[in-house]
């Protein structure tokens, strides 16, 4: 027992005497008396596993030399990470698990937030970068994207989601930008206190059209649908009565949120007014009663009543 203690003490002194960056050659035998090991002294303190002719081969564990925390465990071949493995942060929490090829992430893998350990990406890698199909998650855990990646950025078909799980873009990406497809924007408390669902079409990276639908806040009834520009009603559109969202109230053209030209309807479907507007005010047109009889005309904003109804 005393001899073992002395031997251990002398061996420790020898290791301390050798320069830190020098190599020491050890001979380690397995059951078949085959393995020969050449190690850097630093590896003795931070690595455990299998070696063949001085190179890491097989299942290896690597440790942080400052705090002895595990920083990697996985398969090596000829001194490089090849096969499945896991990486850990300085707190011992996993930050990546997946497949490696020649020291680089290649194949299927999962990446985790460094600080809170939440999954932030899962999918295909090539040469250490996201390449192929994958999914990105927010720091709160909900799905953000499922898409095709090239060199770490979105390229190809994909979808984007909001925190409620609703699709807000579906189509194609080019260099991380919406390229071809449809974007959906959900807005509350817009200019007229309705909920707005706005659909934007992309073609070759350009927003070519905006189409939206507005719903009442409390009853969720459709009150408007039509074209938008810069989040304003611009172009053709339709308004509906708020009692059921089906009876047409107005259809025509809008400019900067205001009626410009079109037809106004009674709740029974008959035309109430048709003509031009100026900032939502009737300007040039004709007015009718609920039975469809002409009852007035307007010129430059001035109303002229029709006395006799033919």
What's the pLDDT at 220? Answer: 86
Where are any strands of DSSP class E within 138-203? Answer: 143-150, 153-161, 167-174, 177-187, 195-203
- Report the distance separating Cα 79 and Cα 40, nearest Å: 13
Q: Which two tokens stand for residue 239?
A: 């308004």
* DSSP label at residue 133: E
In percent, how much of the chain has pLDDT > 70? 80
User: How many other CB atoms are there within 10 angstroms of residue 78's CB atom?
Assistant: 11
pLDDT tens-digit map of 13-43:
333 333 333 333 333 333 333 333 334 434 4
Would you say the C-alpha torsion 229, 234, 236, 237 has a positive or negative sign? positive
Three-state secondary structure call for residue 291? coil
Would you say the C-alpha torsion 114, 117, 118, 123 has a positive or negative sign? positive
Q: Is residue 230 part of a domain?
A: yes
What's the pLDDT at 41? Answer: 39
Three-state secondary structure call for residue 44? helix
Would you say the C-alpha torsion 206, 209, 215, 217 has a positive or negative sign? positive
pLDDT tens-digit map of 244-281:
778 999 999 999 999 999 999 999 999 999 999 999 99
What's the pLDDT at 11? Answer: 39
Q: Is residue 222 part of a domain?
A: yes
* DSSP label at residue 270: -
Beta bridge partners of 288: 294
Going from the C-alpha of 260 to that of each of 182, 192, 298, the distances in angstroms are 28, 18, 15
- Report the distance separating Cα 130 and Cα 181, nearest Å: 22
Q: Is residue 179 part of a domain?
A: no
- Report the distance separating Cα 144 and Cα 147, nearest Å: 10
137-148 mean pLDDT: 95
Q: Is residue 269 part of a domain?
A: yes
Phi, psi dihedral angles at 112 (to 5 degrees): -120, 150
Q: Is residue 295 part of a domain?
A: yes
Residues 6+ apart with CB under 8 A from 289: 295
Would you say the C-alpha torsion 153, 159, 162, 165 has a positive or negative sign? negative
Q: C-alpha 191: how far from its chain's center?
A: 28
Give this prediction's pTM: 0.71
Q: Is residue 171 part of a domain?
A: no
Q: Is it the case that residue 160 has pLDDT exceeding 90?
A: yes
Average pLDDT along the chain: 84
Q: Is residue 40 part of a domain?
A: no
CATH code for the domain of 303: 2.20.110
What's the pLDDT at 93? Answer: 93
Residue 212 structural domain: 198-310
Beta bridge partners of 112: 119
- Report the distance separating Cα 12 and Cα 8, nearest Å: 6
Residues 6+ apart with CB under 8 A from 61: 47, 48, 49, 70, 72, 73
Q: Which two tokens stand for residue 73?
A: 């465990």
Q: Is it the case that residue 3 has pLDDT exceeding 70?
A: no
Q: Is residue 159 part of a domain?
A: no
User: Of 122, 132, 167, which is closest to residue 153 (Cα–Cα)?
Assistant: 132
Kindly report which listed range (152-166, 188-202, 218-232, 250-264) carries the lowest average pLDDT score. 188-202
Residue pair 158/144 in contact (Cβ under 8 Å)? The answer is no
What's the number of domains the chain is made of? 1
């Amino acid at each position: 027992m005393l001899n073992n203690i002395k031997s251990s003490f002398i061996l420790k002194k020898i290791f301390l005497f050798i320069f830190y960056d020098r190599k020491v050659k050890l001979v380690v035998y397995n059951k078949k008396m085959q393995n020969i090991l050449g190690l850097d002294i630093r590896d003795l303190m931070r690595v455990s596993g299998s070696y063949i002719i001085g190179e890491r081969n097989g299942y290896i564990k690597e440790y942080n030399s400052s705090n002895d925390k595990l920083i990697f465990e996985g398969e090596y071949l000829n001194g490089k990470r090849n096969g499945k493995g896991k990486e850990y942060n300085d707190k011992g929490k996993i930050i990546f698990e997946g497949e490696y090829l020649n020291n680089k992430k290649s194949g299927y893998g999962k990446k985790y937030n460094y600080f809170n350990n939440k999954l932030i990406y899962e999918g295909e890698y090539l040469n250490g970068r996201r390449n192929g199909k994958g999914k990105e998650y927010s720091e709160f855990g909900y799905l953000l994207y499922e898409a095709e990646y090239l060199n770490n950025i979105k390229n190809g078909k994909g979808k984007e989601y909001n925190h409620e799980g609703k699709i807000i873009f579906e189509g194609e990406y080019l260099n991380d930008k919406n390229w071809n497809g449809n974007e959906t924007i959900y807005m509350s408390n817009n200019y007229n206190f309705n909920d707005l669902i706005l659909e934007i079409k992309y073609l070759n990276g350009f927003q070519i059209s905006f189409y939206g639908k507005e719903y009442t806040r409390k009853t969720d009834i459709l009150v408007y649908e039509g074209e938008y520009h810069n989040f304003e009603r611009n172009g053709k559109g339709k308004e509906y009565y708020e009692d059921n969202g089906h009876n047409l109230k107005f259809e025509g053209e809008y400019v900067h949120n205001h009626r410009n030209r079109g037809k106004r309807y009674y709740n029974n479907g008959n035309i109430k007014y048709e003509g031009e507007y100026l900032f939502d005010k009737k300007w040039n047109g004709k007015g009718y009663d609920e039975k469809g009889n002409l009852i007035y005309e307007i010129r430059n904003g001035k109303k002229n009543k029709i006395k006799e109804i033919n």
